[in-house]
Amino acid sequence: MINTYGKIKRIDGNEFKYISEVLATEFKSSSGATYMRRLEQSFASKFGSEYAISFVNGTATMHASLEAMGIGPGDEVIVPPLTMSATTFAVLQSNATPVFADVKKDTFQIDVESIRKVITKNTKAIITVALYGLSPDMDPIMKLAKEYGIMVIEDNAECFLGKYKGKFAGTIGNCSSFSFQSSKHLTSGEGGIILTNDGVLAERIRRVQSLGYAGVGANKAKINKKDIQNPDYSRHVSMGWNYRMPELCCAVALAQTERMDELVLQRIKVANIFNEATYDFHDWFIPQKVGVEYENSYWTWVCRNEHPSLKWIEIRDAFYANGGDGVYSAWKLTYFEPMFTNMNLLGRERFISEENKDKYREGSCPVAEYLQTRLFQFKTNYWDLEKAYQQAEILRKTLKQFS
């Protein structure tokens, strides 16, 4: 039976209320950044973080972090290839060189031993990705980073309230990046946010976010009108971008932040429904491994196909034929995308050495290459659990056909 908690609304009352309040200001500059401040304070408080800085999207967050860390031409940033390519785009936007580290076969997360193998004297940062809602094994990564003096950015776009050894994913690295894009746990249509406990880094990130304005700071998102009305006022103390999150998006993201537990829990419930329905087939349709010290927030529920003869397409087609309404493959590995195979990086290829270009080829990350053609990503954004039960039963029926 579906209880009264089986159905929720993704967009509830406060989203509309807060948007109306923003519109009532008629976007007067004197009223600007009110919801930006409220969102940042609420988000930081939720994660127990000192600073939160909102952004126009969850790629600008990582770009800004790299810029604030002083990373640029000649520097290398280690990233996993098994994720959405925006993680790598941020490195290229900084004119730095992406270097790919392999992943673990059971968790699909970046592997610390692979990271160690690709570190060079030019390595300045690692971007980990909490893929599908699960944190990587962060302790050995942080230990390795400390050993080499490397910065760590957590790409937490897919992981809200996931935990690692009792800590929230996103509170372990030097800073972390979250996304409010439409498919994520929380959404305002678009948007992103950075968390950090480093006040110096936070101030640098804010300046990257806000055109290098002198009058902004780690916890200050708006310049003072009285200051800028002085003809002798120097506005820009550094280069920066206009990466600020619009007030309308901040208003929606604030309302979503207030409901974070409810929205994340719904996805976890859906994942558990799929997990239980397919239990009899986990010898060959194997879910992402979640260790005892981890809590997965399940942006998607993911399995790898280890059937000796069945192809990905065969299972997908059978699922759809039985009434399945959504399954996704893993992204093509970033270094297999045409932008890399053709070196069409809008001029940034000139910053990448021939030696590093030679690494963007088959065999660079064999585990990720093996997994990419075998992973099934099932939706967890069912706001009515009855629909999730129906889809899980369709998947169970589909897998039974092949057993």
Q: Which of 233, 181, 200, 237 is nearest to 61 (CA)?
A: 181
- What residues contact 10, with CB distance under 8 A and at least 6 apart? 187, 263, 381, 383
Asked if 361 and 386 touch (Cβ cutoff 8 Å), the reply is no
Mapped onto helix, strand or coil, the DSSP state of residue 341 is helix
Q: Which of 121, 134, 129, 67 is nearest to 101 (CA)?
A: 129
Q: Compute the distance between CA of residue 266 and CA of residue 282 in angstroms, rounded to an integer.
A: 23
Q: Compute the distance between CA of residue 351 and CA of residue 343 in angstroms, rounded to an integer.
A: 11
Q: Which of 119, 129, 139, 127 is nearest to 69 (CA)?
A: 127
Query: Residue 279: exposed, middle, or buried by beta-carbon count in 10 A (0-12, 13-18, 19+)?
Result: exposed
Using DSSP bridges, classify how beta strands 175-179 and 294-295 pair: parallel, antiparallel or unpaired.
unpaired
Q: Compute the distance between CA of residue 50 and CA of residue 217 in angstroms, rounded to an integer.
A: 13
Half-sphere exposure of 69 (CA within 13 A, CB side): 30
Asked if 165 and 140 touch (Cβ cutoff 8 Å), the reply is no
Q: For residue 176, what is the DSSP state?
A: E
- Distance from chain centroid for Cα 359: 25
Residue of 104, 124, 184, 379 with catalytic role? 184
Q: Can 184 be counted among the known catalytic residues?
A: yes
Using DSSP bridges, classify how beta strands 285-287 and 300-305 pair: parallel, antiparallel or unpaired.
antiparallel
First and final C-alpha spacing in the chain: 28
Q: Compute the distance between CA of residue 63 and CA of residue 233 in angstroms, rounded to an integer.
A: 28
User: Got the DSSP string for 231-242?
Assistant: TT---BSS---B
Q: Compute the distance between CA of residue 175 and CA of residue 152 in angstroms, rounded to an integer.
A: 7
Q: Compute the distance between CA of residue 175 and CA of residue 115 in angstroms, rounded to an integer.
A: 19
Active site residues: 184
